[in-house]
Structure formats: C-alpha cells, structure tokens
Amino acid sequence: MRIEIICTGDEVLTGKITNTNFSYMAQKLEDAGLSVHWGTTVGDDRESLLEAFRLASVRADAVIVNGGLGPTVDDLSQEIAAHAAGVELVLHQAWLEKMESFFTRRMRTMPPNNVKQAMLPATAEMIDNPIGTACGFAMDIGKARFFFTPGVPRELRRMLEEQVIPRILARAGAPASIHLKRFHSYGLGESHVDQLLAGVEALDPDGGVKLGFRAHYPQLETKLTVRGTDMDDVHRKLAPVVAEVKARLGNFIMAEDDQTLEGVVLAALAAESATLTVVETFTGGQIAARIAHLPGAETVFRHGSVSRHLDRLFGVALPPGLGEDTTEAVARAAREQTGASHALAVLIELDEGADRMDLGGTIWIGIATANRMDVRRSRILAGREWIRLGAVELALDCLRRFLQGLPVTERIDFEKT
C-alpha cells in the first residue's frame, strides 16, 4: 500500500505557516500501521496542482490531499481533481442543504460563493465534515484513490481519523482493529528506553505489536501499535506487552495515552482535597503556568510565587545561599504562609558566564506537607533554555512521585553528578 500526501496552499509553500498538518497525518497513519511514502507541497496554482495530482496518480495507491476546499477563488482542489480525472463538477445537493442549515443555525445567510464548496467531481464520494463547511471527498484518479481533506487542522483531524484512515485500511485489507497505546515518561533518553524495552514486541507471538518512540524534550512518548482482528484480539495481544512495559519503565511512566503530567498531578492533589503553593526562581512562572489555568485548578492551585531572589518571600527570613536548608525553609514558609496543604519550591542556581551548550544549573526541589518534607538536588548541563525546560519537568515529576508514594530522588539520564 503506497500512500502519498499532497499539501496545498500558498501559506504552506511560502512558509507563512509551519506545515503541522503533514506531520500530524503521517503520525496518525503510522499509528494505524500505515506508512507515507512521498510528500508533495504545492501552492494555490492550477498547473502545479494538476502536475502533483498526475504524478501521484501513477505512483501511489492512496493519496491524501490537504487544503484547497474553501469558498474563495484560490481554493482549487475540486476543480483540478475533476480536470485530472476528466469528469465534470456537479452540485452535491445534500451538502448544499447541510451548509445552508449550518448558516441558518448561526442566524446567518449563506454567502453565494459557498455554493462552490458543494460542487464535487461527478465520480466523487462525498465525505462528511461535521464541524465545517468544507466537505471532503474521495475519488479515483489514475490508479490511485484520492482523499481530499480540509486545511483547517481540527476539521482535518476529525475527518482523517473518523473517515479517511478507516477507508484506507479497508483498501489495504488490514486487520479491522488497530489500537495505539502510549506511555509518557521523563528522565530516560530514547536510546535508553529502547534498550530497556528490547524484546517486548515478541511477547505477542503473532507479531501484531510494534514499538515506537516520539521524543519531545523533555518528555519521551513510547508507543505500542497493535493490530488485530477485533478489539478483543487487540486487547489480548496488548495485555502482556503493556504489563511488561510498565514493569520495565516502572516509576518513570508519568502518564498514559491522553493524560498529561500536569493533569496527573492535579488529579492526585484533587483526590486528596489538597491545595498547592508553588515557589519558583529561574523557571519564572512556567511551573505555575502548567497547572494554574487547568479546569479544576481553581480549587487546588492556591498560590504561585516567582522571584529571582529570595530575600522577600512571605516576610520569612531564609538561610543565606542555596542548599538543603534554604530549600526546606522556602517550602515550609510557602506552605504555612499561604495555607496550602502542599508546597513545591524550585530554586535554581545557574553557573556563571554566558549561555552555552554546556552551561550548568543546580536545581533544588523541595516538597512540603504538614508532616513530610522531601528535598532533591539535581544538576543539568544543557544551556539556559534546556535547564529551564528540564527543571519544570523534573519539578512536576517529583511532585507526581511524592503524591504517588514513589521515591523523588531516582536518578535521571539528563543529570550530571
């Protein structure tokens, strides 16, 4: 099954916007056990579009075209698709009516140029877009099946997952059920996790489980793609592999699937009716900014403080210099002065000198409750920006571990001595 993607639009071709639709589509296809073989980017230009469609139509089995379905004159996908297939454009009455009711529900009259969005090539199968006026469509051009999708990311995403990928899988004759299981970790590098997980795929003797990674510093995503005849088959294959991944990565798994680290922390705090105060220095508000705005945080997030120097924290005298005593004193004072059940203090000392790849930072993390105080010292050599990103993640992960009763001082790959 050879799949190609054609991204259209002057905004993408000129770099005005970064083409995140391409990476999104490619990933989603990979997650479904499919692979993209070729990508093309062209502008809103008749000659280029026609040439791109023709080249793909002789090379590929399936082609996803993104963009060019809008109501304006530079949206050309339907016109060029019809031209490439040698068929006429015809009015798709059902979609026209759906668009009209879309506008009516919003107390507006449909502008006449939207009619263009209901003009589809005569041989096209309409693909529903439940959240926009650009319907998709599928049709044959040459030897390939073409799938036309809208450029608006949230419309594309829904159509790709609900309609396009199932159709491609059906054509590929792939097993009916595919499932993607994801684990999010912090503190272990990709090659380290790859080593730790050596052989887990083989726990499904049918070869239905594929292991993959996606690193976005400072987090790593470990992905298991499972193919099976139905969801029962998928779960049967997945269960032993998931158990083994959990056993091997252990405390480093901080979230699964659509969970986020900050969401896990917030839920754990909410579960014990806890409240949180955060004190930051060089992270400058970025730890608070991960949690404070989340739905549900209004009852949990008590207070955040950002100071570059800690001479004035809540009027409490602090020991001089940065070390265990200071970290404990800050966490204790923050908790007591703001009336929170939990305090997280993250104090950072950068090395002297200009920013550089190996500039170091010493990170002190203190977590206090009425009855417990955990302190961790960590050192990262990675330049200002990565020290800050790493410290935010390390601090949130230490708080997760604290709340889950796990050790907060477990060594991570990114730290030095």
Say whether residue 27 binds a second copy (CB under 8 A).
Answer: yes
What does the angle CA 181 – CA 183 – CA 189 come to, to the nearest 5 degrees? Answer: 135
- By beta-carbon proximity to a second copy, the closer residue of 3 and 135 is 3
Say whether residue 309 binds a second copy (CB under 8 A).
Answer: yes
Say whether residue 58 binds a second copy (CB under 8 A).
Answer: no
- By beta-carbon proximity to a second copy, the closer residue of 12 and 120 is 12
Q: Is residue 169 within 8 Å of 184, Cβ to Cβ?
A: no
Say whether residue 20 binds a second copy (CB under 8 A).
Answer: yes
| Cα pseudo-dihedral 149, 152, 155, 156, rounded to 10 | 40
Q: Is residue 251 within 8 Å of 401, Cβ to Cβ?
A: yes
Q: Which residues pair with 181 in a beta bridge?
A: 224
Q: Give, for 58, the enclosing helix (H) or strand (E).
A: helix 46-59
Say whether residue 338 binds a second copy (CB under 8 A).
Answer: yes
| Burial profile 58-76: b = 16 or more Cβ within 10 angstroms, e = fewer | eebebbbbbbbbbbeeebb
Which of 158, 179, 303, 400 binds a second copy (CB under 8 A)? It is: 303
**Smallest distance from the beta carbon of 134 to a second copy, in angstroms?**
17
What does the angle CA 110 – CA 115 – CA 116 come to, to the nearest 5 degrees? Answer: 135
The CA distance from 365 to 401, in Å, is 13
Say whether residue 76 binds a second copy (CB under 8 A).
Answer: no
Which of 240, 285, 319, 407 binds a second copy (CB under 8 A)? It is: 285
Say whether residue 292 binds a second copy (CB under 8 A).
Answer: yes
The CA distance from 171 to 165, in Å, is 10
User: What backbone torsions phi and psi does residue 225 show, to the nearest 5 degrees?
Assistant: -100, 125
Say whether residue 1 binds a second copy (CB under 8 A).
Answer: no
Which three-class secondary structure state does DSSP give residue 199? coil
**Smallest distance from the beta carbon of 161 to a second copy, in angstroms?**
14
**Smallest distance from the beta carbon of 347 to a second copy, in angstroms?**
14
Which of 114, 177, 286, 341 binds a second copy (CB under 8 A)? It is: 286
Q: Is residue 134 within 8 Å of 152, Cβ to Cβ?
A: yes
Say whether residue 26 binds a second copy (CB under 8 A).
Answer: yes
Q: 7: which 2 tokens? A: 């991204």
Tokens 């003797």, residue located = 205
Say whether residue 157 binds a second copy (CB under 8 A).
Answer: no
Which of 167, 181, 182, 214 binds a second copy (CB under 8 A)? It is: 214
The count of chain residues that interact with a second copy, using the rule CB under 8 A, is: 62
Q: 402: which 2 tokens? A: 């604290």
Binding mask 259-278 for a second copy (x = CB under 8 A): -------------------x
Which of 1, 48, 87, 323 binds a second copy (CB under 8 A)? It is: 48
Say whether residue 379 binds a second copy (CB under 8 A).
Answer: no
The angle, 0 to 180 degrees and rounded to 10, between the axes of the packed helices 20-31 and 165-172 is 40
Say whether residue 297 binds a second copy (CB under 8 A).
Answer: yes
Binding-site ranges for a second copy (CB under 8 A): 7, 12-20, 22-30, 35-43, 48, 55, 214, 278, 280, 282-289, 291-293, 295, 297-298, 301-309, 312, 338-339, 355, 384, 388
